[in-house]
Amino acid sequence: AQTVTQSQPEMSVQEAETVTLSCTYDTSESDYYLFWYKQPPSRQMILVIRQEAYKQQNATENRFSVNFQKAAKSFSLKISDSQLGDAAMYFCAYSRGTSYGKLTFGQGTILTVHP
């Protein structure tokens, strides 16, 4: 069975600084996707970034980027120039390529942004 582990229950960062959230996963599959989702205090979960396992290039979305280390099964999220609106719970998630999109989630990391 696939597992996803986020070892940082809480992280904090100063506004305008950079923070990295860690995620490791375990799978024997070769075709899969990895995601970072953000859940602000209002609770609507939104997609931050997606990485296809077959792509060697790390995904980026504006201030958000990932460090995808396939051999190490590591998938960290870097947030640059942190903003107050980045404060949220962040979930790392895994989906097998042929699983209809079923997600396996990590435990979550609460990110606090200090002004």
Partner 1 sequence: DVKVTQSSRYLVKRTGEKVFLECVQDMDHENMFWYRQDPGLGLRLIYFSYDVKMKEKGDIPEGYSVSREKKERFSLILESASTNQTSMYLCASSPPPGQPLHEYFGPGTRLTVT
Which residues contribute to the site for partner 1 (CB under 8 A)? Answer: 4, 6, 9, 33, 37, 42-47, 50, 91, 93, 95, 98, 100-108
In the complex with partner 1, the residue whose CB is nearer, 20 or 107, is 107
Query: In whole angstroms, how close is the CB of 84 to partner 1 at the nearest point?
Result: 21
Q: Are 41 and 88 in contact (CB under 8 A)?
A: yes
In the complex with partner 1, the residue whose CB is nearer, 5 or 83, is 5
- Cα–Cα–Cα angle for 90, 66, 72, rounded to 5 degrees: 100
Residue whose tokens read 């404060």 = 87
Query: In whole angstroms, how close is the CB of 18 to partner 1 at the nearest point?
Result: 25
In the complex with partner 1, the residue whose CB is nearer, 2 or 80, is 2
Query: In whole angstroms, how close is the CB of 113 to partner 1 at the nearest point?
Result: 21
For residue 107, give every residue at least 6 positions away whose Cβ sits within 8 Å of its Cβ, in sequence order, or none.
5, 6, 9
Q: Are 82 and 17 in contact (CB under 8 A)?
A: yes
